[in-house]
Structure 1
Amino acid sequence: MAIKLEMLRTFRTVAEQGSLGSAAEQLGRTPSAVSMTLALLEDHIGAPLFETDRKNRLTPLGQLVLQESNRATDAFSRSVDAIGRHAVSTAGTVRLAVVPSATVTFLPGIIASFQQQRPDVRLEISDVDSATVRQRVKLDDADIGILSEPVEDATEDTVIYEDDLGIVCRRDGAISDAMADGEACSWQLLLREPFIANPLCHLVAHACLAPLLATCNLEARNTTALLSFVRAGLGATVLPRSAVQHQLDEVSFLRPDDPPTRRQLRKIREKSHHLSPAAEAFWLSL
């Protein structure tokens, strides 16, 4: 008898719950039915998967089978989700994984234009950091990614937008006061206020950034949150000019030249994954 997906799903649930009773309740089955499914799986494999009858500790083989069960059941769930997405959209769904700074600056205009041309396409957008963007595209959890870091693997990578990075601070804070007193516009100004870290800070090649990143006690990834923290007087941070261009009445944007630093947005897709017609159309719109 071949191993069936239901066997792997049952085994995974028992391993995660640590008991037949809890697993049976989650699966909506009786403990005896769950036990029988496990027995069939172990008979097929030819070795026990649990150390004891209590099902609370896996054998080394059981740990390996759990990893494979996770892969198999997760892949099946992704396929079911994809079918569901296509069922609710006449032209399909485009899944996007996007860094936060792009969702509030670059992306809205692209979406507005695309929806005028393709109102029948459903867009699903995840707001995540660059590392997670790469991972989701690689694992086919996203069709297209937009991130702010170069990609060095087999992923197709194209620069689609760039702008200046600079210091964002309150207009009445210590950094703004220093500039009013004639101090040069340098990344060194970040030392005058508490520092709010975010992933874009790593793009700045100035000696003051490394110790600031190592000692700061506040970090955020969402651009809206970062701007809220700055406005609340919690410190200064590093953001692209486009993130604050409509809010300069509340905060200041300073562009140091030691060195001048640009942020690039890149669109990525996994070369081994075939894009749907809808996703291909969105890729070309970027």
Structure 2
Amino acid sequence: MAIKLEMLRVFRVVAEQGTLAAGARLLGRTPSAISMTLAQIEDEIGAPLFETDRKSRLTPLGQLVLEESRRATDIFDRSAEAIRRHAISTAGIVRIAAVPSATVSLLPAVIEAFQTAHSDVRIEISDVDSVAVRRRVQRDEADIGIISARPDDPSEGELIRCDDLGIVCAEGGPVHAAHLAEGGRSGWGLLALERLIANPLCHLIDDPDVHALLAASTLEARNTTAILSFVRRGLGASILPFDAVRSQPEGVEFFVPSHPVGRRELRRIRQKSDRPGAQVEAFWDLLRRPFPTL
């Protein structure tokens, strides 16, 4: 009997749960049926996968089979989900993974233009940081990615737009007051007057004050809306691009320190070997059009 995907799924569940009974409950099957499936896998492989009958400890071979089982079942599940999504939208689907600031400032206008010509195409947006964007594109979990990058590192992706990075703080708070007192010629060191709300964009600023504050930060957020909410609440100050705060909520101030100037680029990425459909290609092309920001 050849090894089947469902066998690998059963083995994975039991191995991850640690006991035969727990695996059986999760799978909704009897322990005897699960035990028979595991025995079939071991017979096919020709070696034991568990060190004890309790299924609580894997053999070295079992650990390797677990890794392969995870890989195989994850790939199948992603493919099955993609098929289900395509069945919902017969005109096709475009999957976008983008950094939060791009979701706020760039994508609304792009989506509006895209839907004018492709109203029946399904669009899925993932709001994640640049590291997760790259990972989703590499794993074929997204057709197009939008990342934040430093202008001095043009090794990845194609430029969409560039904007200033600056300090976002509460109106009337210590950072804002110090900025006004200095007549607008402020440095990044003003962030030391409040708690730094860390986010991945902070790492794009090459300044020793920012580096030290990042190392000491005890609060981190990756969603633009959450960061602005925390700032407005008085929980600290942070670093965001101008596009993300162009339409600032009441009670929030934004300014660009005069030294050193921090810039952020938005870039589009996709798999080089990918052969995108017409819908994905159309969305990809729209990302370079000069849409107004929100």
Supply the distance in 1 between the matched residues of 2:231 and 2:259 (Cα, whole angstroms).
23
Residue 131 of structure 2 corresponds to residue 126 of structure 1 = no
TM-score using structure 1 length: 0.94
Q: Cα–Cα, structure 1 residues 88 and 248, in superposed 2: closer, same or farther, change >3 Å? A: closer
The structure-2 alpha-carbon separation of the partners of 1:103 and 1:131, relative to structure 1 and needing over 3 Å to count, comes to: same
| Residue in 1 that maps onto 2:64 | 64
Aligned to 2:170: 170
Give the match for residue 256 of structure 1.
Answer: 257
Q: Could you tell me which runs of 5 or more consecutive residues in structure 2 were left unpaired when the two chains were aligned.
A: 288-294
Conserved 8 A contact 1:156-1:270: no
Matched, 1:243 2:244: yes
Q: Return the alpha-carbon distance in structure 2 between the equivalents of residues 251 and 4 of structure 1.
A: 57
Amino acid at match of 1:96: I
Between stretches 217-226 and 155-164, larger displacement belongs to: 155-164
Residue 224 of structure 1 is matched in structure 2 by 225
Q: Is the 8 A contact 1:133 1:146 kept in 2?
A: yes
Letter in 1 for 2:263: R
CA displacement 1:152-182 (0-9 Å, x = unmatched): xxx9711112111111112211122223323
Aligned equivalents of 2:125 and 2:215: distance in 1? 31
How big is the shift at 1:32? 1.5
Alignment of 1:72-83 (within 5 A): 72-83=72-83
Q: Alignment RMSD, CA only?
A: 1.6
Query: Shift in Å at residue 271 of structure 1?
Result: 1.3
State the shift of 1:220 in Å: 0.7
Q: 1:16 to 1:249 in 2, by over 3 A?
A: closer
**Aligned partners of 1:6 and 1:205: how far apart in 2?**
51
Q: Which residue of 2 aligns with 1:211?
A: 212
**3-state SS in 1 of match to 2:186:** coil
The number of residues matched between the two structures is 282
2 CA distance for matches of 1:127 and 1:66?
Answer: 31
Task: After TM superposition, give the deviation of residue 135 of structure 1 in Å.
Answer: 0.6
Deviation at 1:276?
A: 2.8
Which range moves more in the overlay, 248-257 or 47-56?
248-257
1:130-167 per-residue CA deviation (whole Å, 9 max, x = no partner) reads: 111111110111111111036xxxx9711112111111
Q: Check conservation: 1:103, 1:127, Cα contact below 8 A.
A: yes
Cα separation, 1, equivalents of 2:236 and 2:213 = 12
> Match of 1:281?
282
1:198 maps to 2:191: no
Secondary structure of the equivalent of 2:94?
Answer: strand
Query: Which one is further off, 159-168 or 274-283?
Result: 274-283
Per-residue CA deviations over 1:11-30 (Å, capped at 9, x if unaligned) read 11111122222222222222
Separation in structure 1 between the aligned mates of residue 62 and residue 274 of structure 2, nearest angstrom: 31
Q: CA deviation at 1:249?
A: 4.8
State the identity as a percent: 61
- Give the unaligned 5+ runs of structure 1: none
Indicate conservation of the 8 Å contact 1:13/1:23, yes or no. yes
Matching residue's letter, 2:252: V
